[in-house]
Amino acid sequence: MAWAKVLLTGIGIPSEELAKNLQVVREALKNALSEETAAIVDEYIEQGLTQLPELPSELPTFIESDEPHAELALQYLNILLRGERHVASRLILDAVEGGINVKDIYMHIFQRSQYEIGRLWQMNQINVAQEHYCTAATQLIMSQLYPYIFATERQNHALVATCVGGELHELGVRMVTDFFEIEGWDTYYLGANAPTPSILQALKERNADVLAISATMTFHVRAVSELIAAVRSNEAFQNIKIMVGGYPFNIEPALWKQVGADAYAHDAKEAIVVANTF
């Protein structure tokens, strides 16, 4: 509800229109659903209507001036928004050569700028093309840091990291994978929209210790649950630990238990801490 209010405000649609739409949806669902199911839906809609007036119509920046490397993050973001990928690349490479840790670049530059890009898109201050450009540029620049990432001593642990089938938002789980590489893990990154049979094959071939699953869109949570069930049903994978992450798990702290995972991590840094407890 909060997300929708911010989005619609950004394109000039007042929250009163959102409330009217919810009322229409409520009436339509009463006619389409069973009485028991409609009562459950009605409760959620009523809560949304009650909270709607108090929800913010805009979001605060994700690059606060008191955050580590905030000036560099803002500079990086503005360069990307100007469409100067090569300049952004040089900025990051110079920062690393100047002594800034690669993990800090990921957490305080890449992650913060991506959050801010999402905020600007949600508030209709940039368009989809700009958002895609900035994300693609960051993925390219991440790959340019691989000589630093793959230079660590191996720890004899293996990670398979993936997005579920249908999920196209892959940057977060790629950051997680790179953090594991920095820690000396052997990683196998499958990227976006990976089908379950291929994930299971990768687990077997890589002799994985941990499977990291990412979902950004809430409607992909069921796919996460189904993937975990497929892993659990195979006797060969009984010792594999499963970690999940992404937006749905960030907003609902207990969701990881409901889908059958062993753990949840809010970001790449926390994923390392969690994996070390397995």
Share of the chain above pLDDT 90, in %: 92
What is the pLDDT of the chain when averaged over all its residues?
A: 94
Is a pLDDT exceeding 90 seen at residue 159? yes
Range 224-252 average pLDDT: 95
Is a pLDDT exceeding 90 seen at residue 274? yes
Is a pLDDT exceeding 90 seen at residue 84? yes
pLDDT digits (tens, 9 = 90+) for 3-17: 899 999 999 999 999
- Residue 139 falls within a domain, yes or no? yes
- Residue 19 falls within a domain, yes or no? yes
Instruction: Verify that 179 and 101 share a domain, yes or no.
Output: no
pLDDT digits (tens, 9 = 90+) for 107-157: 999 999 999 999 999 999 999 999 999 999 999 999 999 998 887 888 899
- Residue 60 falls within a domain, yes or no? no
Using DSSP bridges, classify how beta strands 210-214 and 241-245 pair: parallel, antiparallel or unpaired. Answer: parallel
Cβ-contact 262, 238 below 8 angstroms: no
- Residue 118 falls within a domain, yes or no? yes
Is a pLDDT exceeding 90 seen at residue 171? yes
What is the layout of strands, in order, in the sheet containing 210-214? 186-189, 158-163, 210-214, 241-245, 263-264
Specify the pLDDT at position 230.
97
CA distance 277 to 262: 11
Q: Which amino acid is at 104?
A: D
- The residue that leads in pLDDT, 38 or 228, is 228
User: In the numeric block, which tokens belong to residue 27?
Assistant: 């009436």
CA distance 252 to 261: 14
- CA angle at residue 190 from 185 to 194, to 5 degrees? 145
DSSP state of 56: -
Specify the pLDDT at position 154.
82
Domain boundary pick from 149, 182, 206:
149
User: In the numeric block, which tokens belong to residue 160?
Assistant: 């398979």
- Residue 265 falls within a domain, yes or no? yes
Domain boundary pick from 129, 149, 169:
149
- Indicate if the alpha-carbon torsion angle 81, 87, 91, 96 is positive or negative: positive
Specify the pLDDT at position 73.
98
pTM over 0.95: no
Domain count, the chain: 3
CA distance 145 to 92: 9
